[in-house]
Structure 1
Amino acid sequence: MHAIGIDIGGTKIAGAVVDDLGAIVRSARVPTPTDASALEDAVVAMIGELSDSGPVDAVGVAAAGFIDAAQSTVYYAPNIDWRNEPLREKLERRAGRPVVIENDANAAGWAEFRFGAGRLVSDMVMLTIGTGVGGAVVSNDRLFRGGFGIGAELGHLRLVPDGLACGCGRRGCLEQYGSGRALLRIAGEIADGGGIGEALATARSERGGLDGHVVGALIGSGDPGAMAALERLGRWLGEAAASMSAVLDPQRFVFGGGVSVAGEALLEPIRAAYLEHLPARGYRPEPDFVIAELVNDAGVVGAADLARVWVEEHA
């Protein structure tokens, strides 16, 4: 069975025809329109283009936001003017085939569980460390969505009481301490302090600011200031993961997103902080910590596979 997966990002819409083993057969990409109506048109056009390659049984569409449990309505999308949007109904009417809607982090997590770093376990947590922190939970081989469909928003777990303000309206969320944006803030603080922050300060002065490419390059070169920033970020993530284990007890934590390219340099402080904060340490099994494998393809692969699963379950 072939299915189409479409991942709506902030700057681009990525799409692919995916087979039942998670292999991409054909792909497409277009810029993301800013207007919601034009965006819907672009998704419909991409479905038509990808359908030309052969029979397609279903379409999965992944987007950032709160999606209902029926994988149908977008309750709220932070970057698109969708509020209680019946997106599934609209796309099915225009595309003429079954469509399911899914949160983008859920889609990426499902792809890793089925075809990537989460293979061979039944219970997995994925954290996507990008501009924010996305989350996905697989429990007993099933994607966890919660009673209303908007569960596993792990980036909005409260980590620091009365901490930094978050875009969700609360304070102290993990997203403010464990994201790519947080890494840049921490790197800036280290640059302000001098000493090991000298290279960060120099790069900031030369470029007019720090961005992910600059900090990533300094991490890659082993710069002590950049490594200290990554270590602090990893410790926040490890502390949060320990709290997640108290509730979810996963066999494996998978870390994806742009910051995950740091690999073992990111995982080492995560593991250390996790063990420090793990309840009943030494008297319980401990999970694996791994880097995601599918990288930029996870969203489209996961969306397509979730659509395929939906069709099979509702046949």
Structure 2
Amino acid sequence: MTTRIGRERPLTVGIDVGGTNIRASVVDGAGEVLDSVQAPTPHSERALDDGLERAVRELRGRHRIGAVGLAVAGFVDETRTSVRFAPHLPWEDSPVASRLSERLELPVILEHDANAAMWAEYRFGAAAGAHNGVLVAIGTGIGAALLVGGELYRGSFGVAPELGHLQVVPNGRACPCGKRGCWERYCSGTALVDTAIERLAIDPARSTILAREVSRDPGSLTGRRVAGAAQDGDPVALEVLADFARWLGLGLAFVSDIFDPDLVVIAGGVSSSAPLFLDEAREHYAASITGARHRPLARIRTTQLGEGAGMIGAAELARTALGAGPAAEHHVPVV
């Protein structure tokens, strides 16, 4: 148990509470995943609480667990004990941490999933050694996290930062958040599809792959398929990825003008296609940032921990509740 620094620290459970699946992992103090379970996400509040309890008890039957951390895609309150709202989960103004802690008789903390991923990358992955960092998780939309002075920044009410909903195009594409022209409407897996459909409507004959796929089944197009078509040389798909790279670079310049980070980590499902857009995005970023020739640029990296980052980060943050790991902030509530 001591072959790597940190392994001797208490084991904790990190849980990624997604809209489709619950994924729970036992994580040691070196950030290594030792054991995992997965189950479909229930659709009622009571059933979801039951499912989380079952997952932890199953893992607890095989390991000595000291605390539990939940990574949630939604608004977590500033004490990290309640979920204010989660669009794909049945919790609303719900004291999740105290309920689960009472059931399990273990400390439980909550964390926004992007924050949890950022903390994992900072402790064990691509953001190691960063002082001020930004994580941009690009999937269906954009999730984001800020690291300021080596600590997660959550804002006054626990909901910072919603970078994906910065308006970059006045009166632009409609966003599910209720606004128009949000960054994620031009820089996400969903945006890849929307841009592809727009360009195909103008001149479908220019596409050798996407047009055929859309004509066969218009609803089958996904961001992953657009990226695959670009990999295969489809002209329209290549234009779509170039447009995506431009929006990513412009958005990162906007973020950097505000926060001046030394590191940006690109995570989320779209990050797996980074070779198709990241170099070009770096060029747009370097050209668009204010005072580019007179200031250092942030390093831009892709995730090292992949889809497991949220679980690993939640588990590591839970470890702070035991006083057994570097704290993400000065005071960690224990329930």
Correspondence for 2:81: 72
Any idea what SS the aligned residue of 2:294 has?
coil
**Cα pair 1:130 1:179 within 8 Å, conserved:** yes
User: Displacement, 1:190?
Assistant: 2.1
Residue from 242, 245, 248 that aligns with 1:234:
245
What letter matches 2:241 in structure 1? L
Q: How does 1:5-154 map to 2 (within 5 A)?
A: 5-154=14-163
Residue from 150, 162, 167 that aligns with 1:158:
167
Residue from 286, 299, 318 that aligns with 1:288:
299
What letter matches 2:74 in structure 1? G
**Cα pair 1:190 1:197 within 8 Å, conserved:** no
Aligned CA distance change for structure 1 residues 167 and 208 (closer, same or farther; 3 Å): closer
**Cα pair 2:18 2:88 within 8 Å, conserved:** no
Any idea what SS the aligned residue of 2:209 has?
helix
Residue from 169, 172, 176 that aligns with 1:167:
176
Taking the aligned partners of 1:155 and 1:222, their CA distance within structure 2 comes to 29
Any idea what SS the aligned residue of 1:184 has?
helix
Correspondence for 2:204: 194
User: Displacement, 1:310?
Assistant: 3.3
Moved more, 153-162 or 83-92: 153-162
Per the normalisation by structure 2, the TM-score is 0.90
Is the counterpart of residue 248 in structure 1 residue 259 in structure 2?
Answer: yes
What letter matches 2:249 in structure 1? G
What letter matches 1:271 in structure 2? R
Is the counterpart of residue 222 in structure 1 residue 233 in structure 2?
Answer: yes
Any idea what SS the aligned residue of 1:237 has?
helix
Residue from 269, 280, 289 that aligns with 2:280:
269
**What are structure 2's unaligned runs of at least 5 residues?**
1-9
Taking the aligned partners of 1:196 and 1:110, their CA distance within structure 2 comes to 44
**Cα pair 1:69 1:148 within 8 Å, conserved:** yes
Taking the aligned partners of 1:167 and 1:38, their CA distance within structure 2 comes to 27
**Cα pair 1:4 1:58 within 8 Å, conserved:** yes
Taking the aligned partners of 2:58 and 2:309, their CA distance within structure 1 comes to 21
Aligned CA distance change for structure 1 residues 191 and 112 (closer, same or farther; 3 Å): same
User: Displacement, 1:195?
Assistant: 4.8
User: Displacement, 1:266?
Assistant: 1.9
Q: What percentage of residue pairs aligned between the two structures are identical?
A: 39
Deviations 1:181-212 (A, max 9, x none): 01111111222223543421112123343123
Taking the aligned partners of 2:233 and 2:315, their CA distance within structure 1 comes to 38
Taking the aligned partners of 1:285 and 1:63, their CA distance within structure 2 comes to 34
| Count of equivalent residues | 315
Taking the aligned partners of 1:94 and 1:166, their CA distance within structure 2 comes to 38
Is the counterpart of residue 303 in structure 1 residue 314 in structure 2?
Answer: yes
User: Displacement, 1:17?
Assistant: 0.4
Taking the aligned partners of 2:225 and 2:253, their CA distance within structure 1 comes to 30
User: Displacement, 1:5?
Assistant: 0.1
Any idea what SS the aligned residue of 1:128 has?
strand
Any idea what SS the aligned residue of 2:25 has?
strand
Any idea what SS the aligned residue of 2:292 has?
coil
Moved more, 84-93 or 263-272: 263-272
Residue from 190, 194, 212 that aligns with 2:223:
212
**Cα pair 1:180 1:212 within 8 Å, conserved:** yes
Correspondence for 1:278: 289
Taking the aligned partners of 1:245 and 1:309, their CA distance within structure 2 comes to 30
**Cα pair 1:58 1:99 within 8 Å, conserved:** yes
**Cα pair 1:178 1:237 within 8 Å, conserved:** yes
User: Displacement, 1:22?
Assistant: 0.4
Taking the aligned partners of 2:24 and 2:265, their CA distance within structure 1 comes to 23
User: Displacement, 1:52?
Assistant: 1.6
Q: What's the RMSD between the two structures over aligned residues?
A: 1.5
Deviations 1:236-292 (A, max 9, x none): 121111111112111111111111111222212311221222011110000111111
